[in-house]
Amino acid sequence: MDLLKIENITKRYSAHTALDDVSLSVPRGSIYGLLGPNGAGKTTLIRVINRITLPDAGRVIFDGHEITDQDIYQIGYLPEERGLYKKMKVGEQAIFFAQLKGLSRREAIARLKEWFVRMGIESWWNRKVEDLSKGMAQKVQFITTVLHEPKLLIFDEPFSGFDPINANILKQEILRLRDKGATVIFSTHNMSSVEEICDHITLINKSRNILSGSVEEVRRRFGENVFEVTYSGQADTFEQAMQPVAEMLSSSAVADSPYTCSRIRIKDTASVRDSITVANEAVELRSFREVIPSMNDIFIRAVEGTL
Amino acid sequence: MKKIGIIIAREFNERVRKKSFIITTILMPLLMLGLMAAPSLMMLFATGDQKTLLVIDESGAVAQKLESNDEVVFTPFAGSLDEARANEEVFGVLWIGRDVVATPSQVRLYTNSSSSLTLEESIAAQIEDVVESERLKMYNIEGLEDIMNNLQTSVSMSTYRNDLSAEGEDEEATSSMVAYLLGLVLGMMLYMFLIIYGSMVMTSVIEEKGSRVLDVLVSSVSPFQLMMGKILGIASVAVTQVAIWGVLICGLGATVLPALMPTDVMQTMEAIEAGQMTALEADMDADMLSALSMATDIPQLVMMFVWLLLFLVGGFLFYSAMFAAVGSSVDSIQDASQLQTPITMPIILALILAMSVFNDPNSSLAFWGSVIPLTSPVVMMARIPFGIPTWQIVLSLILLYISVVGMAWAAGKIYRVGIFMHGKKPSYKELWQWLKQ
């Protein structure tokens, strides 16, 4: 069942339309990528989910019912623009944000101590935020976002400002939260992180949902019948043999081995099976696999309208 | 409501724990009391050693009538002036010429060190009195002494308010001078609180917006709750400060002040308060007495503080909502300066009105100024010490608190849009559009 359903949301501002009839569903327990170029309407959509702004039309269904103010206790939101009170001490500040999310002071302190130990930052408790580096402040902010163990977590560019080691710690924590039952919405421009951890994506461009689905499904849909073939034999021989069924795109010798690697696009008139048969007779095959486009390629092609 | 409470608590704790808050809160009343007590303290410590003056009176009429006091002791001296001047152990020599009654300029003071203006004036005054009475004696008027005693007077006017003593109470003396000073202090205080604490709200909103804490906060609380939490939090800081001042001043007024005053003054005052004596009989300055009785009259002081707090909170809520709206719509304090002009103008206008109130606390200008919410907090506080009808104060409060609700609503609408706007400083027209959204 879906934890969150967005149904035909429209939001207009005086000068422009930020969201135009956007629908999507986020399956429970998934990591859902919300993609799109700058200014596409992602932040507005997140604000609608958070009930910061109310939509002009459409509904948000959360956990089976139309979302209410009480549900925001079940949401944790890490905005792209991070912010903490500079003059406040780290511990007190974290307690403050936790209390706003409905935790009692005692509960907040207990959970915070646990998180601080796990992230290795327990010595920061009494330090002021202005004394922390940007990455350190990001860690604190991450903890305040997830501390109340919400059902839905929304991260806007969570990895920006982190070094690779800390980014990896953060990734592990996000996956751990997902395994504990949280659903994660993940807004980002970083396509490699989408491929690594997202199950589903939605691509928003110019206020509209232009692409939705599971990552595998989307990538397959964008596959263009391109295959990569590795074999031992001559590239020329291979190209000649394949001519009736496929077009040769590129060829290169695999370094330090007797093999050649070629990319071919199978013609619409031929099947994959025929192609393999032909190739198998022409050369000695090592591998034959489909080339699936990267999310990066899909993103660019989708946004530029060359679908 | 619980969330507003959490926000109020944060605002309050962050500010009250600051060193600057603690210092101003404690030092301010001490400073004020120090200023008030300075004259009596100076009297206490200034009367140092007595000064001895050798008096050479060639006229023979003055010397025996000079009265020694705490400051100066007159010692008749029979020798010559030069002998007297050679004596360096005394403070100096007072020489009075033979024809001093006819020619009063025949008085000279030789001193071994610098003398003071007050000393010279008191000696001159004594000699003047002697010369005056000697001259009078020459007219040979019968019963002169009685006539003189009867003539001596100093007018001390007491003002009574018919409207205030109508309820069968004892007649209450009022003093315009005391009311003026008190009104000035209260009006100025309101003015300063509105400006200082109001811009504190604005600065704080700008900081939250600039540091993007707002983006995080609004995912937990509504913008309106956030704005009200901040305003109420800072209001409670202001109230705390005034309350501490109130307690300190009342407490010191009840304990320290009577101790500092000479006992006869206090006894007279107690007698007046008990109705055994009027200020006229007491032969004391009415302004002084009513100032003293006000400073030690705890119920009246408390009432004054209650009004002060009510107008302070109302005025603060009214203006800080506007300050919050301006703060939400800009990115920096520099950008705010132009937008906040329409807010600070009425506060300054209120102070100017308050100044004119002192001339006539019951003019229609004073009345309307103290009833219309934009200026009412400052102007009304300046009027209250003059003793105005309670219905006017209540009316003013009701209007003020109604407009507070309206202002909070309007400011909330601007705030809600403003906190997400970054970049260009909005124009008044844009603010108006946000308000209508």
The complex scores an ipTM of 0.75
Residues of A with CB under 8 A from a CB of B: 14, 50, 52, 69, 72, 75, 77, 79, 81-88, 96-97, 99-101, 141, 144
What is the percent of chain A with per-residue pLDDT over 70, rounded to a whole number? 99
Tokens of B274: 């008990």
Q: How far apart are CA B414 and CA B229, in angstroms?
A: 16
In this structure, the dihedral spanned by the alpha carbons of residues B77, B82, B83 and B87, taken in order and rounded to 10 degrees, is 90
Contacts of B432 in chain A (CB under 8 A): none
Tokens of B80: 């010559």
Q: Do residue A83 and residue B213 have CB atoms under 8 angstroms apart? A: yes
Question: What average pLDDT is seen over chain A?
Answer: 87
Q: How far is A246 from chain B (nearest CA, A)?
A: 54
According to the model, what pLDDT value does residue B284 have? Answer: 55
List the single best residue of B18, B215, B434 to mutate versus A (max A Cβ within 10 A). Answer: B215
Instruction: Kindly give the residue spans of alpha helices, DSSP state H, lying in B211-262.
Output: 213-217, 223-260
Q: How far apart are CA B171 and CA B176, in angstroms?
A: 16
- Residue at A231: amino acid letter: Y
Q: How far is A137 from chain B (nearest CA, A)?
A: 12
Q: Do residue B219 and residue A72 have CB atoms under 8 angstroms apart? A: yes
Q: How far apart are CA B301 and CA B292, in angstroms?
A: 12
**Which whole number is the average pLDDT over A246-253?**
85
Q: How far apart are CA A72 and CA A77, in angstroms?
A: 9
Q: Are B353 and B365 in contact (CB under 8 A)?
A: yes
The residues, ordered by sequence, that sit 6+ positions from A126 with a Cβ below 8 Å of its Cβ are A89, A90, A91
- CB of B7 within 8 Å of a chain A CB? The answer is yes
Q: How far is B433 from chain A (nearest CA, A)?
A: 9
Least confident span in A214-223, A240-249, B157-166? B157-166
Q: Are B50 and B73 in contact (CB under 8 A)?
A: yes
Q: Do residue B220 and residue A144 have CB atoms under 8 angstroms apart? A: no
Q: Do residue B213 and residue A144 have CB atoms under 8 angstroms apart? A: no
According to the model, what pLDDT value does residue B170 have? Answer: 45
The residues, ordered by sequence, that sit 6+ positions from A163 with a Cβ below 8 Å of its Cβ are A135
Give the A:B interface size as CB pairs under 8 Å.
52
Q: How far apart are CA B330 and CA B309, in angstroms?
A: 31
Contacts of A144 in chain B (CB under 8 A): 216
Comparison of pLDDT for B44 and A156, the residue scoring more: A156
Which residue among B3, B208, B214 sits closest to A100, beta carbon to beta carbon?
B3
Assign A134 to helix, strand or coil. helix
Per-residue pLDDT of chain B (437 residues; tens, 9 = 90+): 788 999 999 999 989 988 888 888 888 777 776 776 666 666 666 555 678 888 888 888 788 888 887 778 888 888 888 888 888 888 888 888 888 888 888 888 888 887 778 788 888 888 888 888 888 888 888 887 788 778 777 676 666 666 654 444 444 455 667 778 788 888 888 898 899 999 999 999 998 888 888 888 888 888 899 999 999 999 999 999 988 888 887 777 677 666 666 666 666 666 666 655 555 555 555 566 666 666 666 777 778 888 888 999 999 999 999 999 999 988 888 888 888 888 889 999 998 888 888 878 888 888 888 899 989 999 998 888 887 888 899 999 999 999 999 999 999 988 988 888 877 778 888 888 888 77
C-alpha closest to that of A154 among A281, A37, A31: A31
B86: part of which helix (H) or strand (E)?
A: helix B81-86
Burial readout B258-297 (b: 16 or more C-beta within 10 A, e: otherwise): bebbeeebbebbeebeeeebebeebebebbbbbbbbbbbb
Which residue among A83, A97, A144 sits closest to B212, beta carbon to beta carbon?
A83
In this structure, the dihedral spanned by the alpha carbons of residues A52, A57, A58 and A63, taken in order and rounded to 10 degrees, is 30
Transcribe A44-92 into DSSP letters: HHHHHHTTSS--SEEEEEETTEE--GGGGGGEEEE-SS----TTSBHHH
Q: How far apart are CA A272 and CA A255, in angstroms?
A: 27
Could you tell me which chain B residue has the CA closest to the CA of A49?
B219
Could you tell me which chain B residue has the CA closest to the CA of A89?
B14
Confidence of residue A214 (pLDDT cuts 50, 70, 90): confident
Could you tell me which chain A residue has the CA closest to the CA of B221?
A100
pLDDT per residue over A170-209, tens digit each? Answer: 889 999 999 999 999 988 887 878 888 888 999 888 888 8
Q: How far is A56 from chain B (nearest CA, A)?
A: 12
List the Cα angle A109/B223/B215 in 5-degree steps. Answer: 65
Output the CA torsion sign for A269, A272, A275, A281: negative
Q: Is the pTM of this model over 0.80?
A: no
Residue A51: CB atoms within 10 A of its CB come to: 19
Tokens of B367: 């009345």
List the single best residue of B216, B421, B427, B435 to mutate versus A (max A Cβ within 10 A). Answer: B216
Q: Are strands B51-57 and B92-96 parallel, antiparallel or unpaired?
A: parallel
The residues, ordered by sequence, that sit 6+ positions from B383 with a Cβ below 8 Å of its Cβ are B183, B357, B361, B366, B370
C-alpha closest to that of B67 among B127, B144, B156, B4: B127
According to the model, what pLDDT value does residue B166 have? Answer: 43
Confidence of residue A267 (pLDDT cuts 50, 70, 90): confident
Q: How far is B189 from chain A (nearest CA, A)?
A: 29
- CB of B205 within 8 Å of a chain A CB? The answer is no
Could you tell me which chain A residue has the CA closest to the CA of B436?
A14
Residue B143: CB atoms within 10 A of its CB come to: 8
- Residue at B242: amino acid letter: V
Say which DSSP state A131 is in. G
Confidence of residue A96 (pLDDT cuts 50, 70, 90): very high
Q: Are A215 and A32 in contact (CB under 8 A)?
A: no
- CB of B390 within 8 Å of a chain A CB? The answer is no
Within the 215-274 window of chain B, which residues sit less than 8 Å (CB to CB) from chain A?
215-223
Which residue among B6, B208, B219 sits closest to A50, beta carbon to beta carbon?
B219
- CB of B20 within 8 Å of a chain A CB? The answer is no
According to the model, what pLDDT value does residue B6 have? Answer: 92
- CB of B214 within 8 Å of a chain A CB? The answer is yes
Q: How far apart are CA B293 and CA B290, in angstroms?
A: 5
Tokens of B317: 């809520």
* Residue that has been written with the tokens 């990528």 in this structure: A33
Assign B322 to helix, strand or coil. helix
| CA A167 vs CA A76, A159, A163: distances in Å | 19, 6, 6
B35: part of which helix (H) or strand (E)?
A: helix B19-46
Contacts of B437 in chain A (CB under 8 A): 14
**Which whole number is the average pLDDT over A280-286?**
88
Q: How far apart are CA A138 and CA A60, in angstroms?
A: 29
C-alpha closest to that of B56 among B75, B40, B73, B37: B75
Q: Which residues pair with A153 in a beta bridge?
A: A76, A184
Which residue among B220, B223, B437 sits closest to A72, beta carbon to beta carbon?
B220
